[in-house]
Amino acid sequence: MSLKRVYRKIWAIVISGVALFFAILALGGLPEGKPSLDIRSPYALLLLLPIALCAWAVRTTALKWRCEHCGALLPTRMATHCRKCGQPIDLS
């Protein structure tokens, strides 16, 4: 998988996790007729889903967000070159 696809995949996971989190919070009170999610209700277990998505994003970053030349973990902020080997990071 190219670095660009890894980059897109990580962001897709993060964005869907955040969207799911807020959707669950916003809709969470509906089954019980409350204005917002009660963290003690069984419905709150759905929050494990966005937590799992975040864990998946962290795992994908740790395993695949790596330099294609030397395999070093790349910085999470946008960088143009690998810190270890100095090769350019190709996201095109």
What residue ranges bind Zn ion (CB under 5 A)? 67, 69-70, 72, 82, 84-85
Q: Is the alpha carbon torsion for 11, 12, 16, 17 positive or negative?
A: negative
In angstroms, give the least distance from the CB of 75 to Zn ion. Answer: 11
Closer by beta carbon to Zn ion, 9 or else 69: 69
Closer by beta carbon to Zn ion, 57 or else 82: 82
In angstroms, give the least distance from the CB of 62 to Zn ion. Answer: 16
Length of the chain: 92
The answer to whether 73 touches 83, Cβ cutoff 8 Å, is no
In angstroms, give the least distance from the CB of 67 to Zn ion. Answer: 3
- Written as six digits, the tokens of 6 are 């890894």
The answer to whether 6 touches 67, Cβ cutoff 8 Å, is no
Closer by beta carbon to Zn ion, 8 or else 84: 84
